[in-house]
Amino acid sequence: MEEGTSNSPSDCCSTERDYDIHQWDSREECEVRQILDRIADKWSLLVIALLEKRTLRFTELRKSIDGISQRMLTTTLRQLERDGLIERTVYPVVPPRVDYALTELGCTLHETIKALVVWTETNQAKIISARRSYDERASEKLW
């Protein structure tokens, strides 16, 4: 028996468009969840953001995303290709040359990713100070 689950809604947000929340219920059935999982991967985000500028080769991507391993870059690129977000072009030359470019679908996704990155850049100071004060409060309580 639930004693009052209908609490005061957070009043700083306006619920403009009512996109389905209960859709995320089932892990296997919900395709939106699956696709979000892929997009919400840190490497995918970076790759898409980089490819918006121009077509890049494998090694160019690897240099631009410091910290990514060759294996993870390969995996990420394959997944993005499978999802139709990027296009892989192989030139049968030696040494091999492989170009990666955003597809049209990938470009539309990039628009929203860009918003995310811009948000992060805009609000990073707030987040950093929030972390600092949280850590301070935590260490006070510990005492």
Partner DNA sequence: AGCTTTGGTTACAATAGGGAACCGAGGATT
Partner DNA sequence: AATCCTCGGTTCCCTATTGTAACCAAAGCT
95 binds DNA (CB under 7 A): yes
CA distances from 47 to 15, 84, 98, 114 (A): 32, 14, 15, 12
Choosing from 94, 121, 139, 140, the residue that interacts with its own copies (CB under 8 A) is 121
Q: Which residues contact 68 (CB under 8 A, 6 or more apart)?
A: 43, 46, 61, 62, 76
129 binds DNA, rule: CB under 7 A? no
Binding partner at 9 among DNA, its own copies, none, C-beta below 5 to 8 Å by kind: its own copies
- With CB under 5 to 8 Å by kind, the binding choice for 54 among DNA, its own copies, none is its own copies
39 binds, among DNA, its own copies, none (CB under 5 to 8 A by kind): its own copies
Pairwise CA distance, residues 25 & 20, whole Å: 10
Q: Is 140 in the site for its own copies (CB under 8 A)?
A: no
CB 88 within 8 A of CB 73: no
Q: Does 139 bind its own copies (CB under 8 A)?
A: no
For the sheet containing 56-57, what is the strand order? 56-57, 97-102, 86-91
| 136 touches, from DNA, its own copies, none (C-beta below 5 to 8 Å by class) | none
Decide: 80 and 45 in contact? Cβ < 8 Å: no
Among residues 69, 70, 84, 96, the one that binds its own copies under rule CB under 8 A: 84
Binding to DNA (CB under 7 A): which residues in 61-80?
Answer: 67-72, 74-75, 77-78
Say which DSSP state 85 is in: S
